[in-house]
Amino acid sequence: MKLVRIGEPGQERPAIVDETGVLRDISGYVDDIAGEVLLPQSLEKLRHLPVHSLPKIDGTPRIGACVGRIGKFICIGLNYADHAAETGAAIPAEPVVFSKWTSSVVGPNDAVRIPRGSVKTDWEVELGVVIGKGGSYISEDDALDHVAGYCVINDISEREYQLERGGTWDKGKGCDTFGPIGPWLVTADEIADPQQLNLWLEVDGHRYQNGNTRTMIFTVAQIISYLSRFMSLQPGDVISTGTPPGVGLGQTPPVYLRAGQTMRLGIEGLGEQRQTTVGESL
């Protein structure tokens, strides 16, 4: 299934994408794509809905983040060997973990605001993993059973804030609009192998990132198992699993975003995002 949330910010309602690409309203069955709706038994009920009898959604409504009421937005850094190399970083012995604030979450096609005074706002296409069945101390063998689905994430980052201002990475990662998620949540049964997905990103038509999840240092299963040692994972938690090479920081010389540019990015089978950058108003 491809699950989606449509409507203005804070007023999104749940929908499903039928096999012809038509949006169908499922708000008569669930209130949101969030929380317990992401449990395996709840998703199974949605699979049995009479999709072609559901109300069509006409027009081109705004698409919101594909998961609502996100509890934790957890990210993994330097998780592609070739990306670590382009940034001059050593291959990590364990996953590098940081957080994006949930206030950074926006829809996949919403504008991205460059923070006031920013000179190093950057892009990162990433595979997003949404937890369905929660748990702690999850084994690698069982880890993928805890996945509700997958999505596209743009882990937008302000490199000066992240790397040059002291402290943790988090303040360069969690600015408002720095977490576009979606367009769809594609349920895990539709993705045969999350470690064999092409992903890419363009800025103003120039392709900077072109990678595949097979080059991850730590697999999705390893990441879920690792994180569950330090925190309980809960339905609706989102994990962003790292980016392939081609970020602005890794260019020679580095290239960063400025107002008025367009990012387009996508992952095989998970859809595309498109964002325009705007300056933060004073």
State the total domains in the chain.
Answer: 2
pLDDT of amino acid 81: 84
Same-domain status, 8 and 112: no
pLDDT in tens, 38-85: 999 999 999 999 999 999 999 999 999 999 999 999 999 989 987 777
pLDDT of amino acid 280: 79
Same-domain status, 255 and 136: yes
Same-domain status, 32 and 85: no
Same-domain status, 109 and 232: yes
Same-domain status, 92 and 216: yes
In angstroms, the CA 120 to CA 103 distance is: 20
- In a domain, residue 59? The reply is no
Of the candidates 69, 103, 74, the one whose C-alpha atom is nearest the C-alpha of residue 230 is 74
In angstroms, the CA 38 to CA 238 distance is: 12
Contact of 19 with 28, CB cutoff 8 Å: no
Same-domain status, 142 and 114: yes
Same-domain status, 136 and 219: yes
- In a domain, residue 234? The reply is yes
In angstroms, the CA 133 to CA 143 distance is: 10
Q: Decide if pLDDT at 17 tops 90.
A: yes
- SS3 (DSSP) at 232: coil
If pLDDT is split at 50, 70 and 90, which confidence band does 167 have? Answer: confident
- What value does the mean pLDDT of the chain take? 96
Q: Decide if pLDDT at 281 tops 70.
A: no
Same-domain status, 163 and 203: yes
If pLDDT is split at 50, 70 and 90, which confidence band does 210 have? Answer: very high
Same-domain status, 105 and 211: yes
Residue range of the domain that includes 18 = 2-53
The CATH number of the domain where 249 resides is what?
3.90.850.10
If pLDDT is split at 50, 70 and 90, which confidence band does 90 have? Answer: confident
Give the residue carrying structure tokens 């890794």: 250
Same-domain status, 129 and 241: yes
What region does 119 belong to: left with phi over 0, alpha with psi -120 to 50, or beta? alpha
- In a domain, residue 64? The reply is no
pTM above 0.85, yes or no: yes
Same-domain status, 82 and 49: no
Same-domain status, 179 and 273: yes
- SS3 (DSSP) at 135: strand
